[in-house]
Structure 1
Amino acid sequence: MQSNYYFPKGGHPPQSNLLTDRAIFTEAYAILPKGVMRDIVTSYLPHWTNTRLWVLSRPLSGFAETFSQYIMEVGPSGGSERPETDPGAEAVLFVVDGEFHLTIGGKSHLMQPGGYAFIPPGAEWSLRNDASMPTRFHWFRKAYEKVDGIPVPEPIITNEREIAPTPMPETDGRWLTTRFVDPLDMRHDMHVTIVTFEPGAVIPFMETHVMEHGLYVLEGKAVYRLNADWVEVEAGDYMWLRAFCPQACYAGGPGKFRYLLYKDVNRHMALGGSGRFA
């Protein structure tokens, strides 16, 4: 199935290329442009076969605190029977290219572009690419924060095509969010959504809030205001935003601007440490 979502192509630039690029790393935000996602910066994981990945975020002093995010590339016959080594980790998978079979609790699901899976902590799951071409997907991992009296959520398997986006108030439908989880469901401590802006749409104020963000641009281009800087971004770029980093956006067109968004939600603020992975 053909995909409109951008995914890394790997490879290496020629020796004649200029070194200047848009990569930025600050204490408030980071930009990983698509041009830095080359073969030389891929990683590998135990218990995975014919698989490589680009690590976009990881818990690190001065960087992401609540989550990690990978772009996985699984070749034909690749995958894993033991994908997760941390029994306390929850996961969200989002497919951007190709297809694979995801098995959770003994039930197999065919995942294709736009496919979304929430995998609760401790779940038994496996993944295999039975197709003749590679598959690519985002893998979000977070240490699940249990709360007394609130059960762990069940797995969710769906596709963005099956969900009607929710318009933001007073935007005439020019700013929409595709939500895979009910925001009021207290069982969930992270949300992964898709945000869509029509050409010319804006975030009309400097959002400044407690939620940490990871944003991967799926389609289009825009200008983002991050802290005190205006930064141009396009499909394939990744943004990490620290909690309370001021942010706004202008979608310049000509097509829609869409990104995959992570945020931590629905829990008390951790005390006595620099972050939840401390």
Structure 2
Amino acid sequence: MIDKLEMFIALAREQHFGRAAEECGVTQPTLSAAIKQLEEQLGALLVLRGSRFQGLTPEGQRVLEWARRLVADARTMQQEIRSGRHALSGHLRLAVIPTALAYLPELTMPFSKEHAGVTFSILSRSSVEILSLLENLEVDAGITYLDNEPVRRVLQVPLYRERYCLVTAAGAPLSDRSHVTWCDVSTVPLCLLTPDMQNRRIVDSILAGVGMTADPTLETDSVVSLFAHVRTGCWASIVPESLAAAFSSDALKVIPITEPDAGPLVGLVTTHREPHAPLITALLRLTRRIAGADPRPQ
């Protein structure tokens, strides 16, 4: 039944029979037959069908919650059996907010040294997408903001507070300052992340708190694009210090922003369930050790 539940989860996520079948590595008729068999086994209609996928029935929504739990438990069991015979191995899937990507090696490097048999997939995603990926079992853990917007039904391990700085080209306005205020940064042409990114909403909120607005002349969802445009000297940007350090060069000036010295809490999140899979348990143990903090279930 587990394979059928995995197909059902994929269908609920993709909301399209063809895409779900492709994700599961089966033909569309095979997936459709598996969903039909699942409905027969459970004695309930789970999927609203027409010429295309039309959604889940109320029974389908309840089965989806159970399916996620059962599939997660099955994967945990498989990992535990495998790790009981051999050194910890497997594949760890992480989703990370773009502004925390520069920090991530602080976790992946020591983890890789302790568990050489583990490989990683790292996705750059928004905070909202990270929670969705966790819920749908598409990633094992995420690194996201903890205290700016609600982060529910996950286990949290705080890591660090973001500290913001102005990044600008040498010779550009404000580049000769040792520090700037939030009022100062609103006076120069800015390129910022797009409004769907929580980092941008945090920056907008801080500026609003001092009576200013950002009014960027360029927006992007790419950190690489952000720094590429700053290097031209036509724009400046507001980014966390750790991210600025990763892109530092003689051509760029990194200037701390003060008054107020505001910064949100960033941490690791994963599903709030016991027992965790061995890979996640090892990741939590390492994260707590690095952060020196206990998890905060919410």
Instruction: Tell me the TM-score range normalised by the shorter chain.
Output: under 0.3
Higher helix share: 2
- Rg comparison, structure with higher value: 2
Normalising by structure 2, we get a TM-score of 0.23
Normalising by structure 1, we get a TM-score of 0.24
Of structures 1 and 2, the one scoring higher in RCO (CA 8 A, sep 6+) is 2
